[in-house]
A and B are shown apart, each in its own frame.
Chain A
Amino acid sequence: MNAAGTHMTAPPLSVRGLGPDEVTIASLAADGAALLLFVNEDCPTSAMALRRLGPLCPAWQEAGLSATAVFEDPLEIAVRITRRLGWAGRVASEDPPYETSRAYGLVSVPTAVLVDNAGTVAGTVTGWDHAALVALIEQAGALLGAGLAAPDAAEPLLKPGCSSKAAIDPELAAAMDAPTGSDGIEEMFERGWTDGLPVVPPTPDRVEAMLGGSDPGFSLGLVPPDMGEATLERVAACAVLAGCRPAYFPVVVAACQAALDPAFNLHGQAVTTQPAGQLVVVNGPVRDAIGLNSGMGALGPGWRANLTIGRALRLLVTLTGGGMPGQLDRSTQGQMGKVGSCVAEDEEVSPWEPLHVERGFQPGQSVVTVIGSDAPLSISDHRSRTPEDLAWVLAWAAASQWSTNWWPLEEPSVFVICPEHAEMFRAAGWTKQRLRRFMFDAVHKPAGELRRGETTPFVHAADPAAQVPKWASPEAIVLIVAGGEAGRYSAVLGPCTGMGSQIVSREVGSPWPLTT
């Protein structure tokens, strides 16, 4: 800090006074000279200076010396303190970051600065120094050609001051003044920007990095149920909140685009009492490029890409879309897939064409497919020796999903076939279509057995002996391969029903980086 030393021009004042007029050096020194007494409310020495010099001010003013107490505090506090201490001079107040104190080179308060009517600093005194103050006042008197009263010599004659607020490290000062937001993580909880877990605060820098140059204003459409607009900026904020890396963003965008397709009926899923989550299946080269897991633990925790991509989509629904559990999201029990549910298919181990190829894409395209689904149900099979036996076990495990008797269902069940189970079908030469057909045929019951409570119109109208399938067609059986190479546990994710939700796929937009 450059000190405003003697014979330098007094720096301009950036302070608030009591009246409407601007407080300037020129106006203060107009009658001959000006004394500025810099103080703050935390400083006992400043209080002493105000108390001892205060009563002298009216006489000084008469003689042409204005005296202004410049507080590093809000004006209201300045007024209260000066009243209490009997300061009869003028009052002014500086706001943080105390530019005027800085300009005058203050390190401590109180600091008295004498300015002549040419606007030049004639002298300064730091702290309470009786002798130096008397000399300063004599100097002022000389400027005015008048005798000015000085404070009595009372103990203590010397007292050091306290730190000027300008001298405090600005970051520390800001932290002292800042409201609770200095802890970003708690601030996110305060604002309701979470799914109940901590999130990464979406600072402008992080969001910009996530956007990676894409247009923040580009809209993907309106997110139900609140119909908040999914600008790429908001999608990026959700991706940051979720903990995504920028490399994941194109996959997040594709997942959001797919979910916002009207055919998916995200609205129904967002507000239903069903435990509906949005399963995100990723195919193609992007899986390896961003480290998506299709192997051991693929449906569980452990891989940032899986967890955060699924979560980013869910945060779009929950935050931008307002589908907050317990509020607009009426899911009775919820399920952990509503935190996020994203899996990569293990195309390399699978004996079959991958999901995206089935759905009409090229093998080399990177594609995201979204499916409304409930929580995974584990299917254990360690004993089947034939593909028929295994297929029967897999299919019947799903028979009770959604309902043991509200049959048939149009909506899809998603089977995640583990590598060991897939191997059995591979060894037997079963195509996906053959497996699907077998599973469809395996799960039938006579209509009479399904007439428990309310039944489907189909069951109601059918002959009691007629065989009713679980699924309306084999196409409702979706098959993907994922999981660890050891262990005979597959899984099935049951449907989200009754809202006409279609499975939607979307190619991942390029460019996406080839390295993480």
Chain B
Amino acid sequence: MHDLVHLERRGIPAVGVATAPFADEAIEQARRLGMPASRVVYIPHPVQLLTDDELAARADASFPAVLAALTEPAGPPAPFAT
């Protein structure tokens, strides 16, 4: 979250991708850093055991949310979940 916040402060839209169990921690971190609107896209957990094809499918499924995080105007903070 530090990296995302640094980049946003520098004027660079950023999005993180994380597995779903990260959500609580990410939201808390973002709040502590003063930027609760930081954008993270969550994908289902786990990923370690996926085949490459399955991992690519996860990436495909999350892509619309990633694009939205990079292009939707800043509004109320909401984590994007796929």
Contacts and interface: CB of A to CB of B under 8 A. Distances in A.
Contacts of A79: 48-49
A190 interface: yes
A180 B32 CA distance: 13
B34 A191 contact: yes
B66 interface: no
A386 to B, nearest CB: 57
A217 interface: no
Contacts of A263: none
A179 B28 CA distance: 14
Interface string A77-95: 1011000000000000000
B49 A191 contact: no
A190 B5 contact: yes
Contacts of B48: 76-77, 79-80
A179 B22 CA distance: 14
A170 interface: no
Interface string B53-82: 000000000000000000000000000000
Given A180-B2, A190-B2, A190-B5, A80 B49 contact: yes
Contacts of A180: 2
A77 B2 CA distance: 25
Contacts of B46: 76
Interface string A188-218: 0011100000000000000000000000000
A192 B33 CA distance: 6
Interface of B is mostly: loop
Contacts of B33: 190-192
Interface residues of A, number: 9
A76 B2 contact: no
Nearest to A74: B48
Interface string B31-48: 011100000000000101
A139 to B, nearest CB: 35
* Interface magnitude class on chain B: under 10
Contacts of B49: 76, 79-80
Interface in B1-34: 2, 5, 32-34
A76 B21 CA distance: 13
Contacts of A191: 32-34
Contacts of B2: 179-180, 190
A77 B46 CA distance: 11
Contacts of A190: 2, 5, 33
A190 B46 CA distance: 30
B49 to A, nearest CB: 6
Contacts of A77: 48
- Please indicate which of the listed interface residues A76, A77, A80, A180 has the most CB atoms of chain B within 10 Å of its own CB: A76
Nearest to A319: B34
A80 B55 CA distance: 15
Nearest to A80: B48
B37 to A, nearest CB: 13
Interface string A51-88: 00000000000000000000000001101100000000
Contacts of A80: 48-49
- Most A-side CB within 10 Å, residue of B46, B48, B49: B48
A357 to B, nearest CB: 44
Q: Which of A77, A80, A180, A191 has the most CB of B within 10 A?
A: A191
A392 B34 CA distance: 50
B19 to A, nearest CB: 10
Nearest to B45: A76
B60 to A, nearest CB: 22
Contacts of B34: 191-192
A76 B49 CA distance: 8
Contacts of B5: 190
A268 B46 CA distance: 52
A332 B32 CA distance: 28
B20 to A, nearest CB: 14
B9 to A, nearest CB: 9
Nearest to A179: B2
Nearest to B32: A191
A77 B49 CA distance: 9
A379 B25 CA distance: 55
A348 B33 CA distance: 47
18 contacts: A76-B46, A76-B48, A76-B49, A77-B48, A79-B48, A79-B49, A80-B48, A80-B49, A179-B2, A180-B2, A190-B2, A190-B5, A190-B33, A191-B32, A191-B33, A191-B34, A192-B33, A192-B34
Interface of A: 76-77, 79-80, 179-180, 190-192
Interface of B: 2, 5, 32-34, 46, 48-49
Given A180-B2, A191-B33, A192-B34, 15 more contacts: A76-B46, A76-B48, A76-B49, A77-B48, A79-B48, A79-B49, A80-B48, A80-B49, A179-B2, A190-B2, A190-B5, A190-B33, A191-B32, A191-B34, A192-B33
List 7 tightest A-B contacts by C-beta distance, closest first: A192-B34, A76-B48, A80-B48, A76-B46, A191-B32, A191-B33, A190-B33
